[in-house]
Amino acid sequence: TVTVSTDPGCKWTANSNDNWITITSGSNGTGHAAIGYSVAANNSLDRRVGSISLAGQLFKVTQASTCSFEISPVTQSFTAAGGSGTVTITTPTGCSWTASSNAVFISINSNMSGVASGTVTFSVGANRSTEARTGTLTIGGATLTITQSGATPEPEKLYFAQIAKGDGVECEVLLANPSTTAVVSGKIEFLDDNGFPFTAGMADSTTPGNVNFSLPPLASLSTLTDTTGRAVAGSVRVTSDGHLGGMVRFRVTGVGVASVEEGKPLSGFLVPVRSKGHLNSGIALHNVESTPLVITLSLHDKQGSPVSNGVKTIGVAAAGHFAQFISELFPVANTESFEGILLAQVIGEGKIVAIALELGSDPGAFSTLPVIPLK
Protein backbone atom coordinates (compact mmCIF):
# COMPACT_ATOMS: atom_id res chain seq x y z
CA THR A 1 0.00 0.00 0.00
CA VAL A 2 0.83 3.66 -0.35
CA THR A 3 -0.90 6.45 1.60
CA VAL A 4 -2.14 9.74 0.18
CA SER A 5 -2.61 12.66 2.54
CA THR A 6 -4.63 15.71 1.49
CA ASP A 7 -7.38 17.98 2.76
CA PRO A 8 -10.92 16.62 3.04
CA GLY A 9 -12.85 17.06 -0.19
CA CYS A 10 -9.75 17.19 -2.38
CA LYS A 11 -10.06 14.70 -5.23
CA TRP A 12 -7.23 12.47 -6.47
CA THR A 13 -6.69 9.49 -8.79
CA ALA A 14 -4.09 6.67 -8.87
CA ASN A 15 -2.83 5.08 -12.09
CA SER A 16 -0.13 2.50 -12.79
CA ASN A 17 2.45 3.51 -15.38
CA ASP A 18 3.68 -0.08 -15.95
CA ASN A 19 1.76 -3.22 -16.89
CA TRP A 20 3.43 -5.25 -14.12
CA ILE A 21 2.02 -2.93 -11.43
CA THR A 22 -1.74 -3.18 -10.78
CA ILE A 23 -3.88 -0.86 -8.60
CA THR A 24 -5.95 -3.22 -6.42
CA SER A 25 -7.88 -0.70 -4.28
CA GLY A 26 -8.42 3.03 -4.06
CA SER A 27 -7.85 4.03 -7.68
CA ASN A 28 -9.58 7.37 -6.93
CA GLY A 29 -11.08 9.21 -4.00
CA THR A 30 -11.07 12.34 -1.83
CA GLY A 31 -9.12 13.24 1.26
CA HIS A 32 -6.83 10.94 3.22
CA ALA A 33 -6.73 7.31 1.95
CA ALA A 34 -4.60 4.22 1.32
CA ILE A 35 -4.08 2.79 -2.14
CA GLY A 36 -3.35 -0.91 -2.59
CA TYR A 37 -1.28 -2.32 -5.46
CA SER A 38 0.29 -5.59 -6.56
CA VAL A 39 3.50 -6.40 -8.44
CA ALA A 40 3.74 -9.26 -10.94
CA ALA A 41 6.63 -11.75 -10.80
CA ASN A 42 9.84 -10.58 -12.49
CA ASN A 43 10.91 -13.33 -14.89
CA SER A 44 13.79 -11.34 -16.38
CA LEU A 45 17.45 -11.43 -15.30
CA ASP A 46 17.47 -7.69 -14.61
CA ARG A 47 15.87 -5.70 -11.89
CA ARG A 48 13.15 -3.24 -13.00
CA VAL A 49 11.79 0.09 -11.87
CA GLY A 50 8.19 1.25 -12.38
CA SER A 51 5.88 3.89 -10.93
CA ILE A 52 2.38 4.87 -9.88
CA SER A 53 1.01 8.34 -10.62
CA LEU A 54 -0.81 9.47 -7.51
CA ALA A 55 -2.38 12.88 -7.00
CA GLY A 56 0.04 14.41 -9.50
CA GLN A 57 3.09 12.75 -7.96
CA LEU A 58 5.12 9.65 -8.83
CA PHE A 59 5.53 6.72 -6.44
CA LYS A 60 8.53 4.62 -7.54
CA VAL A 61 8.45 0.80 -7.34
CA THR A 62 11.72 -1.20 -7.66
CA GLN A 63 11.72 -4.96 -8.16
CA ALA A 64 14.74 -7.29 -7.93
CA SER A 65 15.68 -9.70 -10.71
CA THR A 66 15.64 -13.48 -10.53
CA CYS A 67 19.51 -13.51 -10.52
CA SER A 68 21.13 -14.89 -7.38
CA PHE A 69 24.81 -15.56 -6.72
CA GLU A 70 26.35 -18.19 -4.48
CA ILE A 71 30.06 -18.95 -4.06
CA SER A 72 31.86 -21.97 -2.70
CA PRO A 73 33.86 -22.05 -0.55
CA VAL A 74 33.26 -18.84 1.37
CA THR A 75 36.57 -19.07 3.30
CA GLN A 76 40.05 -20.35 2.41
CA SER A 77 43.30 -20.52 4.40
CA PHE A 78 46.92 -20.35 3.22
CA THR A 79 50.31 -20.81 4.79
CA ALA A 80 52.87 -18.00 4.86
CA ALA A 81 54.30 -19.33 1.57
CA GLY A 82 51.08 -18.33 -0.25
CA GLY A 83 49.79 -20.19 -3.29
CA SER A 84 46.84 -20.35 -5.66
CA GLY A 85 43.18 -21.11 -5.13
CA THR A 86 39.82 -21.38 -6.89
CA VAL A 87 36.29 -20.38 -5.99
CA THR A 88 33.10 -21.43 -7.82
CA ILE A 89 30.22 -19.04 -8.45
CA THR A 90 26.74 -20.44 -9.16
CA THR A 91 24.07 -18.31 -10.90
CA PRO A 92 21.45 -18.69 -13.68
CA THR A 93 22.68 -18.32 -17.26
CA GLY A 94 22.50 -14.71 -18.35
CA CYS A 95 23.21 -13.25 -14.91
CA SER A 96 26.29 -11.04 -15.10
CA TRP A 97 28.87 -10.78 -12.31
CA THR A 98 32.35 -9.40 -11.66
CA ALA A 99 35.17 -10.42 -9.33
CA SER A 100 37.51 -8.03 -7.53
CA SER A 101 40.24 -8.25 -4.90
CA ASN A 102 40.10 -6.11 -1.80
CA ALA A 103 43.67 -6.88 -0.64
CA VAL A 104 47.01 -6.12 -2.29
CA PHE A 105 48.41 -9.60 -1.54
CA ILE A 106 45.53 -11.35 -3.40
CA SER A 107 45.48 -11.29 -7.22
CA ILE A 108 42.79 -12.60 -9.56
CA ASN A 109 44.38 -14.74 -12.27
CA SER A 110 41.41 -15.62 -14.50
CA ASN A 111 37.68 -15.00 -15.00
CA MET A 112 37.24 -11.54 -13.56
CA SER A 113 33.67 -11.48 -14.92
CA GLY A 114 31.00 -13.75 -16.38
CA VAL A 115 27.32 -14.16 -17.37
CA ALA A 116 26.73 -17.64 -15.95
CA SER A 117 28.18 -20.03 -13.37
CA GLY A 118 31.97 -20.26 -13.45
CA THR A 119 35.24 -20.57 -11.58
CA VAL A 120 37.56 -17.76 -10.48
CA THR A 121 41.25 -18.53 -9.90
CA PHE A 122 43.42 -16.35 -7.70
CA SER A 123 46.85 -16.28 -6.09
CA VAL A 124 48.02 -15.27 -2.61
CA GLY A 125 51.48 -13.76 -2.23
CA ALA A 126 54.04 -14.89 0.34
CA ASN A 127 53.68 -13.34 3.79
CA ARG A 128 57.11 -12.14 4.95
CA SER A 129 55.72 -10.86 8.23
CA THR A 130 55.33 -13.05 11.29
CA GLU A 131 51.80 -11.64 11.71
CA ALA A 132 48.78 -13.43 10.17
CA ARG A 133 46.65 -11.42 7.73
CA THR A 134 43.15 -11.51 6.20
CA GLY A 135 41.82 -10.32 2.85
CA THR A 136 38.69 -10.75 0.74
CA LEU A 137 37.46 -11.25 -2.81
CA THR A 138 34.06 -9.90 -3.90
CA ILE A 139 32.41 -12.12 -6.55
CA GLY A 140 28.89 -11.31 -7.73
CA GLY A 141 28.32 -9.43 -4.50
CA ALA A 142 29.33 -12.44 -2.38
CA THR A 143 32.47 -12.39 -0.22
CA LEU A 144 35.30 -14.93 -0.09
CA THR A 145 37.40 -14.46 3.06
CA ILE A 146 41.07 -15.50 2.79
CA THR A 147 43.28 -15.91 5.85
CA GLN A 148 47.04 -16.40 5.71
CA SER A 149 49.35 -17.39 8.54
CA GLY A 150 52.47 -15.41 9.40
CA ALA A 151 56.00 -16.51 8.58
CA THR A 152 57.90 -18.59 11.10
CA PRO A 153 60.45 -16.33 12.83
CA GLU A 154 64.05 -16.99 11.89
CA PRO A 155 65.96 -18.50 14.80
CA GLU A 156 68.28 -16.18 16.67
CA LYS A 157 71.98 -17.05 16.41
CA LEU A 158 75.07 -16.11 18.38
CA TYR A 159 78.58 -16.95 17.21
CA PHE A 160 81.86 -17.26 19.09
CA ALA A 161 84.83 -17.87 16.82
CA GLN A 162 86.97 -19.62 19.45
CA ILE A 163 86.54 -22.12 22.21
CA ALA A 164 89.16 -24.49 23.59
CA LYS A 165 89.59 -27.29 26.09
CA GLY A 166 92.42 -29.29 27.56
CA ASP A 167 96.12 -28.62 28.21
CA GLY A 168 95.38 -26.11 30.98
CA VAL A 169 92.89 -24.06 28.94
CA GLU A 170 89.32 -23.62 30.15
CA CYS A 171 86.49 -21.80 28.37
CA GLU A 172 83.22 -20.74 29.89
CA VAL A 173 80.19 -20.00 27.71
CA LEU A 174 77.80 -17.57 29.39
CA LEU A 175 74.30 -16.78 28.06
CA ALA A 176 71.64 -14.45 29.47
CA ASN A 177 67.96 -14.00 28.61
CA PRO A 178 67.11 -10.26 28.70
CA SER A 179 63.36 -10.78 28.31
CA THR A 180 61.19 -10.03 31.31
CA THR A 181 58.37 -12.29 30.05
CA ALA A 182 59.55 -14.95 27.57
CA VAL A 183 61.33 -18.26 28.07
CA VAL A 184 64.10 -18.72 25.50
CA SER A 185 65.12 -22.23 24.45
CA GLY A 186 67.87 -23.45 22.17
CA LYS A 187 71.18 -25.24 21.95
CA ILE A 188 74.91 -24.53 22.10
CA GLU A 189 76.89 -26.31 19.37
CA PHE A 190 80.65 -26.88 19.41
CA LEU A 191 82.04 -27.08 15.86
CA ASP A 192 85.49 -28.20 14.74
CA ASP A 193 87.65 -26.89 11.89
CA ASN A 194 85.48 -28.73 9.36
CA GLY A 195 82.18 -27.53 10.81
CA PHE A 196 81.33 -30.85 12.46
CA PRO A 197 80.25 -31.22 16.11
CA PHE A 198 82.99 -32.09 18.54
CA THR A 199 82.96 -32.98 22.22
CA ALA A 200 84.06 -29.91 24.14
CA GLY A 201 84.14 -31.86 27.39
CA MET A 202 81.62 -29.60 29.08
CA ALA A 203 81.98 -30.21 32.80
CA ASP A 204 78.21 -29.85 33.34
CA SER A 205 76.95 -31.75 30.29
CA THR A 206 77.05 -35.33 29.11
CA THR A 207 75.81 -34.46 25.59
CA PRO A 208 78.62 -34.69 23.01
CA GLY A 209 78.76 -31.76 20.61
CA ASN A 210 76.00 -29.62 22.06
CA VAL A 211 74.21 -28.38 25.17
CA ASN A 212 70.45 -27.89 25.11
CA PHE A 213 68.98 -25.18 27.31
CA SER A 214 65.80 -23.39 28.34
CA LEU A 215 66.23 -20.04 30.06
CA PRO A 216 63.37 -18.44 32.04
CA PRO A 217 62.97 -14.64 31.89
CA LEU A 218 66.09 -12.82 33.15
CA ALA A 219 67.88 -16.15 33.71
CA SER A 220 71.46 -17.02 32.75
CA LEU A 221 73.48 -20.09 31.88
CA SER A 222 77.14 -20.89 32.41
CA THR A 223 78.84 -23.99 31.01
CA LEU A 224 82.54 -24.89 31.23
CA THR A 225 84.95 -26.90 29.11
CA ASP A 226 87.27 -29.44 30.68
CA THR A 227 90.88 -28.36 31.31
CA THR A 228 92.26 -31.90 31.23
CA GLY A 229 93.42 -33.95 28.27
CA ARG A 230 94.89 -32.83 24.98
CA ALA A 231 94.18 -29.37 23.61
CA VAL A 232 91.18 -29.13 21.26
CA ALA A 233 89.81 -25.93 19.70
CA GLY A 234 86.80 -24.97 17.63
CA SER A 235 83.97 -22.45 17.51
CA VAL A 236 80.55 -22.06 19.09
CA ARG A 237 77.15 -21.52 17.49
CA VAL A 238 74.14 -20.76 19.69
CA THR A 239 70.69 -21.16 18.11
CA SER A 240 67.60 -20.04 20.04
CA ASP A 241 63.97 -19.07 19.62
CA GLY A 242 64.50 -15.67 21.21
CA HIS A 243 67.09 -12.97 21.73
CA LEU A 244 70.05 -13.72 24.02
CA GLY A 245 73.21 -11.99 25.08
CA GLY A 246 76.40 -13.87 25.68
CA MET A 247 80.15 -14.09 26.02
CA VAL A 248 82.99 -16.58 26.24
CA ARG A 249 85.51 -16.34 29.08
CA PHE A 250 88.98 -17.83 28.44
CA ARG A 251 91.08 -18.99 31.36
CA VAL A 252 94.71 -20.06 30.77
CA THR A 253 96.39 -21.67 33.74
CA GLY A 254 99.23 -19.52 35.07
CA VAL A 255 98.54 -16.67 32.63
CA GLY A 256 95.14 -15.10 33.15
CA VAL A 257 91.55 -14.59 32.07
CA ALA A 258 90.06 -12.79 29.05
CA SER A 259 86.45 -12.41 27.94
CA VAL A 260 84.84 -11.62 24.60
CA GLU A 261 81.24 -10.99 23.52
CA GLU A 262 79.57 -12.72 20.59
CA GLY A 263 81.05 -11.97 17.18
CA LYS A 264 79.22 -10.01 14.48
CA PRO A 265 79.17 -11.53 10.96
CA LEU A 266 81.41 -9.41 8.71
CA SER A 267 82.76 -9.57 5.18
CA GLY A 268 85.92 -7.69 6.16
CA PHE A 269 87.62 -6.35 9.26
CA LEU A 270 90.94 -5.36 10.79
CA VAL A 271 92.62 -6.10 14.11
CA PRO A 272 95.53 -4.25 15.76
CA VAL A 273 98.14 -6.95 16.39
CA ARG A 274 101.70 -7.37 17.58
CA SER A 275 104.31 -10.05 17.93
CA LYS A 276 106.84 -8.67 20.33
CA GLY A 277 108.93 -10.31 23.00
CA HIS A 278 106.87 -12.87 24.83
CA LEU A 279 103.60 -11.40 23.42
CA ASN A 280 101.89 -12.82 20.35
CA SER A 281 98.54 -11.90 18.78
CA GLY A 282 96.25 -14.56 17.40
CA ILE A 283 93.02 -14.63 15.43
CA ALA A 284 90.20 -17.16 15.27
CA LEU A 285 87.59 -17.25 12.50
CA HIS A 286 84.22 -18.95 12.18
CA ASN A 287 82.39 -19.31 8.86
CA VAL A 288 78.70 -18.56 9.46
CA GLU A 289 77.73 -19.68 5.96
CA SER A 290 76.55 -23.09 4.76
CA THR A 291 79.21 -23.08 2.01
CA PRO A 292 83.04 -22.83 2.25
CA LEU A 293 84.66 -19.39 2.15
CA VAL A 294 88.02 -18.12 0.93
CA ILE A 295 89.59 -15.35 3.01
CA THR A 296 92.61 -13.17 2.41
CA LEU A 297 94.69 -12.21 5.47
CA SER A 298 97.32 -9.50 5.17
CA LEU A 299 99.69 -7.64 7.49
CA HIS A 300 100.15 -3.87 7.35
CA ASP A 301 102.63 -1.84 9.35
CA LYS A 302 101.72 1.10 11.57
CA GLN A 303 101.80 3.40 8.52
CA GLY A 304 99.34 1.15 6.66
CA SER A 305 101.90 -0.20 4.21
CA PRO A 306 101.80 -3.91 3.25
CA VAL A 307 104.38 -6.09 4.96
CA SER A 308 106.66 -8.17 2.77
CA ASN A 309 105.55 -11.84 2.74
CA GLY A 310 102.60 -10.79 4.88
CA VAL A 311 99.74 -12.09 2.72
CA LYS A 312 97.98 -15.42 3.09
CA THR A 313 94.84 -16.89 1.55
CA ILE A 314 92.98 -19.51 3.55
CA GLY A 315 89.86 -21.61 3.10
CA VAL A 316 87.36 -22.13 5.90
CA ALA A 317 84.84 -24.96 5.63
CA ALA A 318 81.11 -24.38 5.90
CA ALA A 319 80.44 -23.65 9.60
CA GLY A 320 84.16 -24.30 10.06
CA HIS A 321 86.85 -22.84 12.28
CA PHE A 322 90.37 -21.48 11.78
CA ALA A 323 92.81 -20.16 14.41
CA GLN A 324 96.50 -19.23 14.36
CA PHE A 325 98.96 -16.78 15.89
CA ILE A 326 100.57 -14.10 13.72
CA SER A 327 103.92 -15.87 13.79
CA GLU A 328 102.21 -19.06 12.51
CA LEU A 329 100.22 -17.26 9.82
CA PHE A 330 103.22 -15.51 8.29
CA PRO A 331 106.31 -17.63 9.02
CA VAL A 332 108.40 -15.93 6.31
CA ALA A 333 107.43 -12.35 7.21
CA ASN A 334 109.52 -10.48 9.76
CA THR A 335 107.15 -10.64 12.75
CA GLU A 336 109.81 -10.95 15.42
CA SER A 337 109.14 -7.44 16.65
CA PHE A 338 106.01 -6.35 14.81
CA GLU A 339 103.20 -3.92 15.54
CA GLY A 340 100.53 -3.09 13.00
CA ILE A 341 97.25 -4.26 11.51
CA LEU A 342 95.93 -7.64 10.41
CA LEU A 343 93.39 -7.18 7.59
CA ALA A 344 90.87 -9.94 6.77
CA GLN A 345 88.62 -9.91 3.69
CA VAL A 346 86.21 -12.53 2.39
CA ILE A 347 86.66 -13.18 -1.34
CA GLY A 348 83.22 -13.06 -2.95
CA GLU A 349 79.98 -13.34 -0.99
CA GLY A 350 79.77 -14.50 2.60
CA LYS A 351 80.54 -13.49 6.17
CA ILE A 352 82.69 -14.62 9.05
CA VAL A 353 82.96 -13.81 12.73
CA ALA A 354 86.28 -13.33 14.49
CA ILE A 355 87.89 -13.27 17.92
CA ALA A 356 91.34 -11.76 18.40
CA LEU A 357 93.49 -12.46 21.46
CA GLU A 358 96.91 -11.46 22.70
CA LEU A 359 98.76 -14.01 24.80
CA GLY A 360 102.06 -13.96 26.61
CA SER A 361 103.97 -16.25 28.92
CA ASP A 362 103.93 -13.94 31.95
CA PRO A 363 101.02 -13.91 34.42
CA GLY A 364 98.37 -11.41 33.32
CA ALA A 365 99.62 -11.28 29.72
CA PHE A 366 96.27 -12.26 28.27
CA SER A 367 93.75 -9.88 26.68
CA THR A 368 91.22 -9.56 23.88
CA LEU A 369 91.77 -7.33 20.85
CA PRO A 370 89.11 -5.28 18.98
CA VAL A 371 87.68 -6.60 15.72
CA ILE A 372 86.96 -3.48 13.67
CA PRO A 373 84.60 -3.71 10.64
CA LEU A 374 85.85 -2.32 7.35
CA LYS A 375 84.02 0.72 6.01
d(CA 343, CA 271): 7
pLDDT at 208: 55
Note whether 364 and 252 are within 8 A (CB): no
pLDDT at 204: 46
d(CA 166, CA 232): 6
pLDDT at 205: 47
**Of the candidates 88, 43, 47, the residue with the CA atom closest to the CA atom of residue 69:** 88
pLDDT at 206: 45
**pLDDT, mean of each 10-residue run, the chain (375 residues):** 86 90 89 89 77 89 84 96 95 88 95 92 94 95 95 90 84 93 93 86 55 93 79 90 92 84 94 87 95 96 93 96 92 88 96 92 82 93
pTM assigned to the model = 0.65
* Pairing outcome for strands 169-176 and 57-63: unpaired
Exposure class string for 118-147: b at 16+ Cβ within 10 A, else e? bebebebeebeeeeebebebebbebebebe
Angle, vertex CA 215, rays to CA 210 and CA 216, nearest 5: 165
pLDDT at 183: 95
